């Protein structure tokens, strides 16, 4: 069939261009896309009160791509918060690229209501803002999410629970993991101002209990109500890694982690709670490496470890640079080694503005610091 400028053929990969005045809803909501197809969205605002669901399934060799026309502004704007702006249900090997998303409840809800596995979804350089809830959710009960790649997205001014990325789900009534987010990458995202009056939580990136093998790296996160990054435990599976993130001005801890993680080479500045805090939250504290981080605080604690019961494994705190009135606050029953850290007075002169500018320049967003 002919849609927009190009031909979309059921016989093989094709390219289709649609605009706000074309039948874009039927293209995206329908079942006509095949592995290797690319949908090019022409400039403009795309709005519809119906539930928009993307079920497209590419392959590893031939993913399906839905993207903005090069150099053009494409905005999906839901007219109300009665439904999510985009629902990805059972999709796989699907990439969304260079699209703005605003309005709606969640901006993007990823799930597989009719199965267990959700695999290979890429969100690349999206701009998500002024929505009624969480920006991106991967928390459908019973789903197992794998090989997600969330790269270079700009997320700000959410509402409701207000997280930028909500990854995994709550445990059941017996404390068992129901929803798993694993072996995925969340990197180089710019997340800020998740602290408005309508936000009840507002973590930057939250990885729930039982999720494992994930890489959270090189994100810039500031002005959140809850921690910049929150992790629980992995149920004994491969540890999560939190590396190279720059976090400042959170209303809570900079990074909060219960167990089973490597937290290394992050920069944390002037957060409302502790710089890095480990406390029991679904998982028992332990099996942590806290290495080579830089924590700059004028008040409070740099690194804090609280233990309610026996730890789940050793904790290594090594090679960190801490500028704070109290560098460490460690529970007596914690199995912690503290080595080769550099502690400086809270009054030490550090050019925080320069650190922030460098972090944003790394993301190509140096003009956005205000």
pLDDT digits (tens, 9 = 90+) for 137-167: 999 999 999 999 999 999 999 999 999 999 9
- Distance, in Å, from the CA atom of 206 to the CA atom of 273, rounded to the nearest integer, reads 17
Class of domain 2-280: mainly beta
Q: CA torsion, points 146, 151, 155, 159, in degrees to nearest 10?
A: 0
Beta bridge partners of 351: none
pLDDT confidence bin for 347, thresholds 50/70/90 = low
Residue whose C-alpha is closest to residue 165's, from 227, 79, 96: 227
Phi, psi of 96 (to 5 degrees): -110, 130
Judge whether 275 and 298 are in contact, CB under 8 Å: no
Residue 7 has pLDDT above 60, yes or no: no
Q: What is the mean pLDDT of residues 217-223?
A: 98
CB 187 within 8 A of CB 228: no
Q: Where are the domains of the chain?
A: 2-280
What's the pLDDT at 9?
40
pLDDT on residue 313: 84
- Contact in structure between 145 and 184 (CB atoms under 8 Å): yes
This prediction has a pTM of 0.94
The pLDDT of residue 211 is above 60: yes
At 285 the pLDDT is 87
Could you write out the DSSP letters of every residue in 127-196? EEES-SS-SEEE--TT-EEES-EEES-EEE---BT--SEEES----TTS----EEES-EEES-EEEEE--
Which pLDDT does position 195 carry in this prediction? 96
The predicted-structure confidence for 169-201, as pLDDT tens digits, reads as follows 988 877 888 899 999 999 999 999 999 999 999
């Amino acid at each position: 069939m002919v849609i927009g400028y190009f031909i979309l053929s059921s016989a093989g990969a094709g390219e289709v261009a649609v605009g706000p005045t074309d039948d874009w809803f039927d293209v995206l909501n329908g079942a006509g896309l095949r592995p290797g197809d690319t949908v090019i969205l022409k400039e403009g605002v795309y709005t519809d009160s119906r539930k928009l669901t993307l079920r497209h399934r590419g392959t590893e060799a031939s993913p399906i791509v839905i993207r903005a026309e090069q150099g053009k502004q494409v905005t999906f704007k839901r007219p109300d918060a009665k439904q999510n702006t985009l629902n990805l249900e059972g999709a796989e090997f699907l990439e969304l690229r260079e699209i703005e998303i605003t309005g709606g409840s969640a901006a993007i809800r990823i799930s597989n209501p009719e199965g267990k596995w959700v695999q290979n979804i890429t969100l690349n350089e999206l701009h998500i803002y002024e929505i009624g809830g969480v920006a991106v959710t991967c928390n459908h009960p019973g789903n197992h999410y794998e090989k997600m790649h969330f790269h270079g997205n700009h997320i700000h001014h959410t509402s409701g629970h207000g997280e930028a990325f909500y990854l995994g789900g709550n445990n059941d009534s017996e404390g068992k993991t129901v929803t798993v987010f694993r072996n995925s990458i969340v990197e180089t995202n710019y997340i800020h101002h998740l602290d408005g009056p309508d936000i009840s939580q507002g973590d930057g990136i939250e990885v729930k209990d039982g999720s494992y093998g994930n890489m959270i790296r090189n994100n810039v996160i500031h002005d959140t109500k809850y921690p910049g990054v929150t992790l629980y435990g992995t149920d004994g599976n491969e540890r999560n890694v939190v590396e190279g993130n720059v976090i400042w001005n959170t209303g809570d801890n900079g990074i909060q982690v219960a167990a089973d993680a490597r937290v290394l080479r992050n920069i944390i500045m002037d957060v409302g709670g502790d710089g890095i805090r480990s406390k029991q939250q679904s998982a028992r504290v332990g099996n942590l490496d806290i290495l080579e981080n830089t924590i700059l605080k004028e008040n409070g604690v740099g690194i804090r470890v609280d233990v309610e019961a026996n730890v789940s494994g050793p904790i290594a705190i090594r090679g960190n640079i801490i500028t704070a009135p109290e560098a460490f606050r460690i529970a007596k029953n914690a199995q912690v080694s503290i080595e080769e850290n550099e502690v400086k007075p809270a009054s030490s002169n550090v050019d925080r503005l320069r650190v922030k500018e460098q972090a944003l320049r790394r993301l190509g967003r140096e003009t956005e610091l205000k």
